[in-house]
Amino acid sequence: MKHLLSIADLNVQEAIGILDTATELSRINDGQIKKLPTLRGRTVVNLFAEDSTRTRISFEAAAKRLSADVINFSAKGSSISKGESLKDTAMTLQAMGADAVVIRHSASGAAQRLADNQWMSGAVINAGDGTHEHPSQALLDAFTIRKHLGKGSSDLQGLHVAIVGDILHSRVARSNVLLLALLGAKITLVAPPTLLPIGIEKWPCAVSYDFDSVLPYVDSVMMLRVQQERMTELFFPNAREYSRYYGLNAERMRTLKPAALIMHPGPMNRGLEISAEVADSARSVITEQVSNGVSVRMAILYVLLAGSSLDVGSI
């Protein structure tokens, strides 16, 4: 596996391999010395042409814990803001010798263009391309669900996950649908009709406009952020109406199964898609998702650059 551009590139063994590797690496992250020498002397470039704090820091921490050298390249401080093309940016980084590029970009397909055009020779890791995919997010979400509800199983057979919100514009939803289905989970997408793509009938999931009817049956509910811009783009009348029908509030939380998890990729709009009370409740694993993200991203870097899944005994 040379690149990680889309969940669709993974077969079930590879996906489970990354999750298992992340499980092993999370032991390092729980210890006092959070360091492995695996990627010493290798260079990982974070090419973030779109704003992000959480994902970039997560990948940076992951690379550094594997002893790689990290170079951060973000849109604001760079010549991307002066109009330099993706091609020229890539070729400049290549000239500096990057073994891997973690790219986040506002254009769907940007990661694939980087990989296919061979402007750089290293591994390309998609950290979110437009509204297409966010593979590492889906992997850390699956890791989180498996850790709590997997009952020792390697996959997610028998579990039911709801993903709620702006599916149409969500790369997190697209990657999650692919990965959860690959791992055997049942998925229900919940959204107003205006925020569901035409063509979704072919996706391996169910679709519902009615949040309340879905909630009592799921093992995990994943809330997606609703961008403020969607209101001016005529997707729904106003924030209040959106919250009323699709917001996860305390009343809805009480209809969940006792062991059900509450998840959110962040950043949250407290009060819009998720109430503060719910975000801070005992069932919420939202902050744990963030720390799992570092282990999962370490696993991705390990698998792509060290060439194999981590064995249990090798640490």
- Which residues are near other proteins by CB under 8 A? 85-87, 105, 107-110, 112-113, 116-117, 129-133, 171, 174, 197-200, 202-203
CB contact burial 109-141 (16+ within 10 A = b; e otherwise): bbbbbbbeeebbebbbbbbbbbbbbbbbbbbbb
Which CB sits closer to other proteins, 28 or 200?
Answer: 200
What tokens does 86 get?
A: 């993706």
Which CB sits closer to other proteins, 105 or 297?
Answer: 105
Q: What three-state secondary structure class fits 109?
A: coil
Name the nearest CA neighbour of 163 among 136, 135, 185. Answer: 185
Q: State the nearest-atom distance from the C-beta of 143 to other proteins, in Å.
A: 23
Chain centroid, CA 40 distance in Å: 26
Distance CA 262, CA 259 (A): 10
Which CB sits closer to other proteins, 70 or 207?
Answer: 207
Distance CA 15, CA 195 (A): 29
Q: State the nearest-atom distance from the C-beta of 305 to other proteins, in Å.
A: 24
Q: State the nearest-atom distance from the C-beta of 58 to other proteins, in Å.
A: 22
Which CB sits closer to other proteins, 129 or 273?
Answer: 129
Who's near 95: CB < 8 A, 6+ residues apart?
Answer: none
Q: State the nearest-atom distance from the C-beta of 315 to other proteins, in Å.
A: 37
Which CB sits closer to other proteins, 17 or 128?
Answer: 128
Q: State the nearest-atom distance from the C-beta of 2 to other proteins, in Å.
A: 17
Which CB sits closer to other proteins, 87 or 244?
Answer: 87
Q: State the nearest-atom distance from the C-beta of 98 to other proteins, in Å.
A: 19
Which CB sits closer to other proteins, 55 or 131?
Answer: 131
Give the distance between the most distant pair of CA atoms in the chain.
56
- Residue in the block written with tokens 């402007």: 119
Q: Which residues pair with 45 in a beta bridge?
A: 71, 101
CA distances from 186 to 25, 83, 209, 256 (A): 28, 44, 17, 16
Q: State the nearest-atom distance from the C-beta of 215 to other proteins, in Å.
A: 25
